[in-house]
Each structure stands twice: as structure tokens, then as C-alpha cells.
């Protein structure tokens, strides 16, 4: 893969957003989504500012890009993020169908400043019975009824 000067400029914007976030009381993370080399959305971490643990830069940026483009499918777009995405953000990136991810800092860098996203990556590798937060299956048969309803629906919007 060839890294272009445009890629570097877009990453610098994500890094600028992360710095701006720190200066405004947020976390040190920023993200930009681009389509055809043009910024569609940019966001920074606002977990503590909004009292929302899902307000990571990448998730907020995906939400804004979807609003701007009027779609839940960001195929054709690329995300530039100032740090390797945590598992939640990585999942959101995959669900949004972004074409590529560029990141600056890695998860070890984040752990070095007490953002231990790697903890969640390690948790996901464990069997459910060994995870820190207990997980309990409950009422599967009742819930499967709704899945069958969805599966038989002919006018659903697939995603």
C-alpha cells in the first residue's frame, strides 16, 4: 500500500483534533473520515465531556459521517484516527463498512498513558466463563422468535 501526502494531511487533521480535545478537557483522541480525499467528518473523544463512554472519536466521527452522507454504509470512505481503534471502535468501523483504517499511536502507546484498550482485546480472547464481567445467556427461545420474524420479513432494509 502506498501512503500519499493526502493520507498524511488527513492524519495530521486527526492528530490536530486529538490535541484540541486535550486542550478542551476531552481525551487525547481524534478521527477524520474522508471520501475521495475530502473530509466528510471529524471528531474527537468527548467521553468525559458528554458523560458518554461510547463518545470515542471514531464512533462520533462515524455518526457524523453517516449524517453528512445520509447513509449507514460508509463504503468508499477511509478513517484516519490518532490511535489504534479500541475493540468498540473497531467493531463500529467494520459495521460502517469503511474501506481502510489509518492510525498513528498504537494500543501500547495508549496503555502507557493509562488507556488500556488492550485489556478488552485480551478479554475477548478468553472463554466467556473466564471473563472479568460475567456473561449469562437468558431467554434465547423467546428472543429467537424475533429473529425468525426478521428473517421472514420481505420488506426489511438489509445491513
Q: How many C-beta atoms lie closer than 10 Å to residue 16's C-beta?
A: 15
**Any catalytic annotation for residue 58?**
yes
Nearest by Cα to 91 from 101, 80, 77, 82: 101
DSSP strand E in the chain: where?
A: 30-35, 38-44, 77-83, 100-105
Among 19, 58, 64, 84, the one annotated catalytic: 58
Rounded mean pLDDT of the chain?
A: 96
Q: What is the pLDDT of residue 116?
A: 83
Using the predicted structure, report yes or no on whether residue 118 has a pLDDT greater than 90: no
Using the predicted structure, report yes or no on whether residue 159 has a pLDDT greater than 90: no
Q: How confident is the model at residue 122 (pLDDT cuts 50, 70, 90)?
A: very high
Contact 150, 156 (CB under 8 A): yes
Using the predicted structure, report yes or no on whether residue 35 has a pLDDT greater than 90: yes
Q: What is the pLDDT of residue 133?
A: 96
Amino acid at each position: 500500500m502506498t501512503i500519499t501526502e493526502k493520507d498524511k494531511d488527513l492524519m495530521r487533521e486527526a492528530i490536530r483534533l486529538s490535541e484540541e480535545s486535550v486542550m478542551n478537557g476531552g481525551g487525547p483522541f481524534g478521527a477524520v473520515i474522508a471520501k475521495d480525499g475530502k473530509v466528510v467528518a471529524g471528531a474527537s473523544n468527548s467521553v468525559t465531556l458528554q458523560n458518554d463512554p461510547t463518545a470515542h472519536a471514531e464512533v462520533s466521527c462515524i455518526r457524523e459521517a453517516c449524517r453528512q452522507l445520509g447513509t449507514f454504509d460508509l463504503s468508499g470512505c477511509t478513517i484516519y484516527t490518532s490511535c489504534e481503534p479500541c475493540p468498540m471502535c473497531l467493531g463500529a468501523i467494520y459495521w460502517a463498512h469503511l474501506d481502510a483504517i489509518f492510525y498513528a499511536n498504537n494500543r501500547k502507546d495508549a496503555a502507557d498513558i493509562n488507556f488500556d484498550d488492550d485489556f478488552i482485546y485480551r478479554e475477548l480472547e478468553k472463554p466467556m466463563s473466564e471473563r472479568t464481567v460475567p456473561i449469562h445467556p437468558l431467554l434465547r427461545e423467546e428472543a429467537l422468535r424475533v429473529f425468525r420474524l426478521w428473517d421472514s420479513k420481505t420488506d426489511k432494509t438489509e445491513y
